[in-house]
Chains A and B, each alone.
Chain A
Amino acid sequence: MSTVILLLVTGLGLGALYFLVASGLSLIYGLMHVLNFAHGVFLTIGAFLGWEVGRRVSDGTWGGLLLSMLVGVVVGAIVAALTEYLLIRRLYERHIEQVLVTVGLALAGVALMEGIWGTDPIYTAKPAWLTETTEILGARIPNDRFLLIGIAVLVLLGIVLFLRGTRYGLIIRAGVENRHMVTALGIDVRRSFTLVFAIGGAAAGLGGVLASVYYGYVSAHLGSSLLIFAFIVTVIGGLGSLAGAAIASVLVAVLQQFANFYLGGTGDLAVVLALAAVLLIRPSGLMGKAAA
């Protein structure tokens, strides 16, 4: 029983990370039909700069971690908005080229960060409480899982409130539904493109700092490995659906944890099989619109 709870909570923690990456990917794809390969770069640069600032102010304290998260959010948002403004916007409506540009950015960005911070993982310090465990129904659960789950829930709530309660959120939701109609009504959707990129980048940057807490290190390849699972999550959940991304994040991560424990470390393969199964049975994903 305690093993099941431990796997479940750890899966939820990992799912929280996947969600922070997948939420942005899903929104961006839903609105702009761009599969953003550079999303991993937003995450990694957020993690690195957050760590650099956090350790200079106060390493391994709550204040330092909060500052790191703040820096991660800001850096992720700025880098993402710049990417949209300088590269994606110029290739308006040419989706394949837009994907190619993000691929180039991903290659160049990872290489640049390898050049600056080296190829080896850098181990990070975190507040003492996060290194301890809490006992729930006999399972000793590392405390950082709770932090991840809590923040992911806050981000989900924040994005939902923004989408439901503000004018920009309304335009984004309408744009995901039918972009041409919104344009025909005289609203410039392109302005919300930068905004969606910034939101996605901010979530990814925050995810980067949290990933360095979860894994205990930062490295230039932090983003690339999470990105592949985030892609899978996005497709399983249904491209463009935030709720789908949230549900699929949890399902994928929990499935991965259980398969890793009970089926001899086959978590990655189980996730891939789940993706293939979902696509063959329901090509638009769990909560997606009809296949576009």
Chain B
Amino acid sequence: MTTTNRRRIAWIAGSAAIIVLAAILPLLAIEIPGVFPGPTYTPGTLQLLAYAMLIAALALSYRLLFGLAGMLSFGHALFFAAGAYGLGVVLEWFAPSELPSEVVFIGAILITLVFGIVLSLTVGSLALRVGGISFAMVTLAFAQAGSVLIRRNPGGATGGEEGLALDITHVPEGFIGVMNTRNLYWFALGVLVFVYLVVLWVERSRAGHVAAAGRENELRVRVLGVRPYPVKLLVFTVAGALAAVAGMGYLLLQSGAAPRVATADFTLTLLVIVVLGGVGYRWGAIIGGLIYTLLDQRLTALAGSEAIAALPDVLRIPLSEPLFILGTLFILVVMFLPGGIAGIPQRLRTHRRSTALESKETVDA
């Protein structure tokens, strides 16, 4: 057996073990004070973990854009919002009542998915006509338009500032209510695994290799006779569709959608997550998503605690703002830890090797 084969088997076994562990979490009573709000079987913790996994799935789709193809988009939130609001609106307005609920539910998901694909194909084909910073601005502009549209509440469809509440008439019973949070948790885990597999498939495909090559040197790809545009558009569309899938999961989990998920700030959060986790690593996006969501939630809880309230103003005000801490952390990672969290092991390894080399050289001398 070759080393590569052995490594692949070890990798598959490791991934399977992590997925199985994540899947049986709702049946266990693991308590980590300070990290989870309660034991792992309680709905509060499961809700938080499910949310973190959906954010991780969304971050994975963003990494496909930014990390693989090098496209700095400021409009990725648009597709997440398209999934969340799209499914919500379809379920509420276009559901024919004579059909059985299951058919309506599945149909609504498919319609929303098609909507997400068409939307990202349209935006992508326009935005990709320009490159670099202009591309970032066009995506930002489209996302801003989407955000404005959602806040405007056209025809009462999106609920404006209040957000959209999920119409549960056609949603399967297993997904409704606090008692069924564990079903939603498994659903979120399924979404994360699905998104991961699609991302893996795209990255390993020929198109993925061309996209990565275009990120490094677009001119060279052109010289080799490959047109980067269709490949970039494909990656953009797949990333948009995956974001819409994560958005649908978000709607079902939160029983609604808030206009916050369509804003430019939300895309910036994704950028922070991907860079925090490590742009060069698929695992980075997942780790970043989980850590960011848990930190955000726990820091908010910390901000309201008595220990913080007793501090003098100079310490109390910065510590009671989770985004301040996360923003500062992000700056520090960008400046001093270019590989992100997932890059730490690699950094330690190279560091050890180089120090080992240096000491050897001194001995030689």
Contact = CB atoms under 8 A, between A and B. Distances in A.
Contact of B268 (A90, A101, A107): A107
Given A104-B334, A228-B140, A276 B126 contact: yes
A291 B137 CA distance: 14
18 contacts: A29-B133, A87-B335, A97-B335, A100-B334, A105-B327, A105-B331, A107-B327, A111-B323, A115-B318, A228-B140, A235-B133, A268-B144, A272-B142, A275-B138, A279-B137, A280-B126, A280-B129, A280-B130
Interface residues of A, number: 42
A37 B133 CA distance: 12
Interface in A246-289: 265, 268-269, 272-273, 275-276, 279-280, 283
B280 to A, nearest CB: 13
B334 A279 contact: no
B317 A115 contact: yes
Contacts of B136: 35
A interface secondary structure, majority: helix
B334 A272 contact: no
B102 interface: no
A111 B322 contact: yes
Contacts of B272: 103-104, 107
A239 B135 CA distance: 13
Interface string B129-158: 111111011101110110011001000000
Contact of B324 (A29, A90, A108, A268): A108
B330 interface: yes
B134 A283 contact: yes
A109 B142 CA distance: 26
B341 interface: no
Interface of A: 29, 35, 37, 87, 90-91, 96-97, 99-101, 103-112, 114-116, 224, 228, 231-232, 235, 239, 265, 268-269, 272-273, 275-276, 279-280, 283, 291-292
Contacts, number: 115
Contacts of B318: 112, 115
The 3 closest A-B pairs by CB, nearest first: A108-B327, A111-B323, A107-B327
A96 B72 contact: yes
B243 to A, nearest CB: 19
A111 B321 contact: yes
Contacts of A269: 145, 148-149
